[in-house]
Amino acid sequence: MRSLLFVPGDSEKKLEKGLASGADVLLIDLEDSVSAERKPAARQIAADFLKSNRDKSSPRLFVRINDLASGLADADLGAVMPSLPHGILLPKSNSGKDVTRLSAKLNVHEAHADAAEGSTRILAIITETALGTLSAASYPDASARLIGLTWGAEDLSAVIGARAVRDDNGRYTDVFRLARALTILGASAADVAAIDTVYINYKDDAGLALECTEAERDGFTAKLAIHPAQVPVINAVFTPSAEAVAQAQKIIRAFAEDPAAGVIGIDGLMFDRPHLRRAERLMGRVAAT
Ligand code: COA
Ligand code: MG
- Residue 177: its pLDDT value, please? 98
End-to-end C-alpha distance for the chain, whole angstroms: 6
Sign, Cα dihedral of 241, 242, 244, 248 = positive
**Going by CA atoms, what residue is nearest to atom 40 of ligand 1?**
226
What stretches in the chain show pLDDT beneath 70? 289
Could you tell which of 14, 92, 196 is best to mutate to test the pocket of ligand 1, judged by most ligand atoms within 8 Å of the CB? 14
CA atoms within 13 A on the CB side of 132: 28
DSSP letter at 94 equals: -
122 CA to centre of ligand 2 in angstroms: 17
What separation in Å is there between the alpha carbon of 226 and the centre of ligand 1? 7
Closest C-alpha residue for ligand 1 atom 27? 227
**Atom 31, ligand 1: residue with shortest CA distance:** 227
Specify the pLDDT at position 289.
65
Minimal-distance CA residue to ligand 1 atom 24: 227
The 3-class secondary structure across 60-79, one letter per residue, is EEEEECCCCCCCCHHHHHHH
Query: What is the pTM (predicted TM-score) of this model?
Result: 0.94
Rounded CA-CA distance 133/57 in Å is 34
Instruction: Report the pLDDT value the prediction gives residue 222, as an integer from 0 to 100.
Output: 98
Atom of ligand 1 nearest to the CA of 27: 44
Residue 286: predicted pLDDT: 86
Contact 138, 99 (CB under 8 A): no
Torsion of CA 21, 188, 216, 56, to 10 degrees: -20
| pLDDT (tens digit per residue) in 33-74 | 999 999 999 999 999 999 999 999 899 999 999 999 999 999
The shares of helix, strand and coil residues in the chain, as percent rounded to the nearest 5, are 50, 15, 35
Pocket of ligand 1 (CB under 6 A): 5-8, 13-14, 17-18, 29, 32-33, 198, 202, 226-228
What is the rounded distance in angstroms from the CA atom of residue 145 to the CA atom of residue 154?
Answer: 26
Q: SS3 for 170-233, per residue?
A: CCECHHHHHHHHHHHHHHHHHCCEEEECCCCCCCCHHHHHHHHHHHHHHCCCEEEECCCCHHHH
42 and 30 in contact (C-beta within 8 Å)? yes
Ligand index nearest the alpha carbon of residue 14? 1
Supply the residue whose CA is at minimum distance from atom 42 of ligand 1: 226
Index of the ligand 1 atom closest to the CA of residue 154: 48
Give the span between the Cα atoms of 228 and 225, in whole angstroms: 7
Atom 17 of ligand 1: nearest residue by CA position? 17
Q: How far is the CA of 33 from the centre of ligand 1 (A)?
A: 11
Judged by its nearest atom, the ligand closest to the C-alpha of residue 67 is 2
Residue of 226, 230, 234 to test ligand 1 pocket, by largest number of atoms within 8 Å of CB: 226
